[in-house]
A and B are shown apart, each in its own frame.
Chain A
């Protein structure tokens, strides 16, 4: 019991940390806005206040910085939560949100929309639906594979995923090299540059529809990690729970990837960080993963938008930070051997 209370305390601490990071992030940006004006603009939304900032400042804060900060948190939370959930239901520590082809499908959808001169909202919607379509295909095929259902899912994930990757390459081949091709490449590198409030409005519903049930299924995920036979022995309908987790995770991942592009490593690394902090019990692991993912992507996106005058794609930074960190984690004494 003591450990549980400790973990609850840690999760609360992470939440406070996230809040603090969000507040400080609002003061960061290439366009200098003093914290005083940030607070003023925030307060003026609930309390009439004399305007002591310029209109430009308010626009930059509300139209550029606000959506980016919120989406960085949301995308980080979604990718990390689905990574944690998949690692549980596939009983595999190397599982990541893209294991069932969600990212490969989204990439194809985005590339296709860019090829057809889609506007940025069309690109997001297309990425989202192709992501859902890909995972549905994977699930459909896996049901027809005899034998172990986990293996079937992962195998058809690999096959369908590489099929969509090839299709994306084909789109890149036929795309215009000075305009569409760089747009596709930037999308594949992942970035929150240019996201707006409309992206939040689009992504928030599927994200909540995905994350909330995952949080409610925490206890059952704990059981699933023990293996299919054990779970059945405990009276759990393994297929139904796994199906539910996959649906929810796919919704959350698809919405996240659709607005951010391909951001790797968050879904694989952050759940392991969370494991180090709160242990393997999903009761705390899932909330901790969500919070750590949000904090991590928020920090990385801060670097992405502040370090240079031009944006550094997010996917590059997450890999540069994520990969060495992951090596550090797995080479530390003992735990994965």
Chain B
């Protein structure tokens, strides 16, 4: 009995200590900004068909995920009040310091994520913006967030094809129609040009291409998946698998299967086995490796081919077209990259940086 009492006292003590520590940790800092009060609002209809009351003038937004983060950063970097994910370490080279210090709020995934709703409320944005493929659950998901934090949330549908429209909508939403139009035209133009190149090459002329990732290079992006859009459009993706085997990326295959596909060109994801593949007995026999037609996707701050599949992919379209069909595409690699980095990352890309980025692809043989 006496022993039990001691245990109870100990337990109570630990509990109190833990709670006290948490109080100290949890109550530091005040909510950012003043409540907006009765400011003017307008009704906005988002891509999910929801009518949302939003402030007429918007100066503070947070993205719902990394996809939205990259899209919004290009349009309105100074309106971002928080990030869903810390910028990649490589971003230090390109992005202004002030953007790297924004609070990180986590990503929203529909079911559970790592977004902290109270932290979002504390950062106090005027609007939460989701950008991406429309999902069946999106209306309810957006309503759910809105209801819990008392901050309007909108969904803007965007795919590779409709990114231009998404930027026009976002420009209108954030009172930045001109800036939105510039980005929209850029996306439309690059997508159109990529399609043109693809059509000129024709189904017959397309290079048989494989995208490999993973630390043994044995994961591939399968044809028809969302992430394979560029690979499928610009090249002839040899990774055709049955539906049941799994669609997506990072589908594990074995080298025998890759040998069977026998791609003309292999592109490796950043950090995969590009640098060691020539020394690997098993890979050396593949046509693409033997003939030196294997490359590494440039990355900085994001992988040009996707991951996340956001606007970084427009740079990927230019890159892949130039890599596979240089005569037809006729891009000036540095000029295009510098333009892209100026528009989407708001930085001046030095020629040295560009050469570093494409040293293992466009400039490989130089």
On whether the beta carbons of B1 and A176 are closer than 8 Å, the reply is: no
Q: Does A194 contact B (CB under 8 A)?
A: yes
Looking across the interface, which residue of chain B has its beta carbon closest to that of A195? B112
On whether the beta carbons of A64 and B148 are closer than 8 Å, the reply is: yes
Q: Give the size category of B's interface with A.
A: 35 or more
Q: Which of B19, B103, B113 is the one whose CB lies under 8 Å from A194? A: B113
Q: Which of A6, A181, A303, A310 is the one whose CB lies under 8 Å from B116? A: A310
A6-B4, A59-B148, A173-B246 known; A120+B35 contact, CB < 8 A: no
On whether the beta carbons of B19 and A31 are closer than 8 Å, the reply is: no
B87 to chain A, nearest CB (A): 14
- Which residues in window 9-65 of A have CB below 8 A to B? 10, 13-14, 17, 20-21, 24-25, 27-32, 54-56, 59-60, 63-65
Q: Does B192 contact A (CB under 8 A)?
A: no
Interface residues of A, CB < 8 Å — how many? Answer: 70
Distance A113 CA – B109 CA, assembled complex (angstroms): 13
On whether the beta carbons of A30 and B19 are closer than 8 Å, the reply is: no
On whether the beta carbons of A2 and B1 are closer than 8 Å, the reply is: yes
A57 to chain B, nearest CB (A): 9
On whether the beta carbons of B15 and A177 are closer than 8 Å, the reply is: no
Could you give 26 example pairs across A and B, Cβ below 8 Å?
Answer: A13-B12, A24-B19, A24-B23, A28-B26, A31-B122, A32-B27, A56-B121, A56-B150, A59-B148, A59-B149, A60-B150, A63-B148, A64-B117, A118-B137, A119-B136, A173-B246, A177-B250, A186-B112, A186-B114, A193-B106, A193-B113, A193-B117, A196-B148, A303-B22, A311-B114, A312-B114
Name which of B139-147, B254-262, B330-338, B344-352 contacts chain A: B139-147
Q: Which of A31, A114, A118, A307 is the one whose CB lies under 8 Å from B25? A: A307
A2-B1, A32-B27, A194-B113 known; A302+B19 contact, CB < 8 A: yes
Residues in A with CB closer than 8 Å to B124 are 56
On whether the beta carbons of A28 and B121 are closer than 8 Å, the reply is: no
Q: Which of B105, B108, B147, B248 is the one whose CB lies under 8 Å from A174? A: B248
On whether the beta carbons of A177 and B122 are closer than 8 Å, the reply is: no
Q: Does A175 contact B (CB under 8 A)?
A: yes
B35 to chain A, nearest CB (A): 5
Residues in A with CB closer than 8 Å to B103 are 309
Q: Does B328 contact A (CB under 8 A)?
A: no
On whether the beta carbons of B106 and A182 are closer than 8 Å, the reply is: no
List 6 A-B pairs, minimum CB-CB distance, nearest first.
A119-B137, A310-B106, A183-B109, A59-B150, A30-B118, A31-B118
On whether the beta carbons of A302 and B22 are closer than 8 Å, the reply is: yes
Q: Does B152 contact A (CB under 8 A)?
A: no
Known: A60-B148, A193-B114. 6 other contacts (CB 8 A): A31-B31, A32-B27, A118-B110, A177-B249, A186-B113, A194-B112
A55-B150, A176-B226, A299-B15 known; A193+B31 contact, CB < 8 A: no
Residues of A bordering B, CB below 8 Å: 2-3, 6-7, 10, 13-14, 17, 20-21, 24-25, 27-32, 54-56, 59-60, 63-65, 110, 113-114, 117-123, 173-179, 181-184, 186-187, 191, 193-194, 196, 261, 276-278, 295, 299, 302-303, 305-313
B22, B112, B113, B137: which has the most chain A beta carbons within 10 Å?
B112
On whether the beta carbons of B118 and A60 are closer than 8 Å, the reply is: yes
Distance A38 CA – B102 CA, assembled complex (angstroms): 29
On whether the beta carbons of B104 and A309 are closer than 8 Å, the reply is: yes
